[in-house]
Amino acid sequence: MSRLRSLGFCFVVLAAALPLADCKSRANQPIAPPDSYLLFVPDEGATGQGTARVRRADLKIEAVQPIPRLLETGFASEMLRTVYLAGQFLRDATVDGRPFPEPARKNGSLPVCLVVGTDQLPYARGLSVKGGLGGVTEWPDVPWLGIPANPSRDKALIQTLTARFAAYAAHLVASGGLLDKAPAPLPKPLVDGYRMAMEVVAREWRFTAGPAGVIQVEEGTAEQRALFGDVRDNRYVTDESHKTVRGAQELLDSPGVAATIFYRMAQSRTVGARVAPEGFYAPYAKKRMPPGVSPAAILGTFRNFQAKLLGAWASAVLRGQAPKDIADLVDIYGAAFPAERAEVIRVFVVTTFGGTVKPGGCSTDPKDAQRTLAELTTLAAEVGAGRKSLRGALAKQSE
């Protein structure tokens, strides 16, 4: 963290907004600077103008612990800063010489607002903030993320926080920064799949030394625990028998399959560590890094991958080529970063057992492992060479 700050990559942590006054709307004024977060708790009383009635949180009170500490270091911190990266790209990037529209840049400039004590996923809009003298200030359009009450009792809190940050980041980029004002519905398999993948990474990210340094297998809700096992064991690719690869369209429509591919891309050292062309990092480096310092080195392997993935995704949306499923997004990523194209295609084909490339895919029987691996390697190479498509199975099924 100290290194990030020394290089100008400082992220402001705020526990209070601007001075508050009696019942005023500040819809056109920023609630806080970009690349910062605000922490609130619900305030007793009725909601104002359909918004959440909240008050500033004292970072030392038990009701919000241990969130402030988790947002300084560890994986929750990584995901908070991933949201910052998405915002930086939306407000500072140009795609084919064109910036994102003003509403998108405005959303990319907003702080991350957290309300502890109300469960809200992916986000809600509107805050009525009670001030110290009893006045209330309204920010009717500000998005906020809801965190369940009693976070100190949540033994999988890192995963809980990650779900909120990942879902919001995915909504930002998938909508081209427009959030709920986007002209078309967002691709749910992609948005949910990205959030699910980041939750899995959160469970295995080491935050202290020793065996207790990760979320223990028995901690968290049943849904959180099941998600971890299903993605890690690639269970979403097969049907209920766990022996047969699901149909091509089912694979592409499944958030779990998308999650598994995202997870494997994130875990690939070939993908995460690869440095993108220098110009790609301009939105992330602008006024934040001194000349000659590699943005990829500052971001680190994991956040470097996040920057590339979310940047490529948002760019495609601005071009009018928004991905509708994970095959589209893999194609988009490979086109944006040609040096990584072969690897992301391989990850996709191997994860799906070739089920979207050829009808029925390849055998999942362990006895056929050697033959299956050879066949998948060939399929991935043929897709990479343009002789086959990641959607080839769909085309043959429609014949």
Q: Concatenate the DSSP letters of all residues of 225-281 into one string.
A: HHHHHHHHTTGGGB-TTSSSBPPHHHHHH-HHHHHHHHHHHHH-HHHHSPPPPGGGG
E strand residue ranges, the chain: 12-13, 24-25, 36-42, 52-56, 94-95, 98-99, 112-116, 120-130, 136-147
**Does 12 have pLDDT greater than 90?**
no
**Does 299 have pLDDT greater than 80?**
yes
For 182, phi then psi, to 5°, come to: -60, 145
Same domain membership, residue 221 and residue 140: no
Same domain membership, residue 3 and residue 117: yes
Average pLDDT over residues 381-396: 93
Question: For residue 24, what pLDDT is reported?
Answer: 65
Which residues lie across from 124 on neighbouring strands? Answer: 144
Question: For residue 136, what pLDDT is reported?
Answer: 86
Instruction: Please report whether residue 233 resides in a domain.
Output: yes
Instruction: Please report whether residue 209 resides in a domain.
Output: yes
305 with 266: CB under 8 angstroms? Answer: yes
CA 352, 353, 358, 363 torsion: positive or negative?
negative
Same domain membership, residue 148 and residue 73: yes
Question: For residue 1, what pLDDT is reported?
Answer: 35
Question: For residue 33, what pLDDT is reported?
Answer: 94
- Cβ neighbours, 10 Å, residue 28: 8
**Does 182 have pLDDT greater than 90?**
yes
Instruction: Please report whether residue 212 resides in a domain.
Output: yes
Same domain membership, residue 338 and residue 226: yes
**Does 45 have pLDDT greater than 60?**
no
Average pLDDT over residues 24-38: 82
SS3 content of the chain, % helix, strand, coil (to 5): 50, 15, 35
- The DSSP code for 271 is H
Instruction: Please report whether residue 177 resides in a domain.
Output: no
Same domain membership, residue 255 and residue 125: no
> Regarding predicted confidence, which is higher, 12 or 67?
67
Same domain membership, residue 329 and residue 286: yes
Dist CA 377 CA 52 (whole Å)? 53
Same domain membership, residue 199 and residue 155: no
Side-chain-side CA neighbours of 244 within 13 Å: the count stands at 9
Same domain membership, residue 319 and residue 229: yes
Tell me the pLDDT band of 46, cut-offs 50, 70 and 90: very low
Average pLDDT over residues 181-186: 94
Residue 69 neighbours by CB under 8 Å, 6+ apart: none
- Closest C-alpha among 271, 265, 291 to residue 348: 265
Average pLDDT over residues 70-79: 93
Average pLDDT over residues 16-30: 54
Same domain membership, residue 253 and residue 140: no
**Does 380 have pLDDT greater than 50?**
yes
Instruction: Please report whether residue 332 resides in a domain.
Output: yes
Question: For residue 365, what pLDDT is reported?
Answer: 94
Tell me the pLDDT band of 3, cut-offs 50, 70 and 90: very low
Same domain membership, residue 135 and residue 247: no
Question: For residue 295, what pLDDT is reported?
Answer: 81
Which residues lie across from 95 on neighbouring strands? Answer: 98
| Average of per-residue pLDDT values in the chain | 88
Average pLDDT over residues 7-16: 38
Same domain membership, residue 201 and residue 149: no
Instruction: Please report whether residue 364 resides in a domain.
Output: yes
Same domain membership, residue 225 and residue 358: yes
Side-chain-side CA neighbours of 219 within 13 Å: the count stands at 16
Would you say how long the chain is, in residues? 399
Range name among 13-27, 38-52, 376-390 with the lowest pLDDT average: 13-27
Count structural domains, the chain: 2
Instruction: Please report whether residue 83 resides in a domain.
Output: yes
For 123, the domain range is 1-161
Looking at 126, 146, 161, which one is the last position of a domain?
A: 161
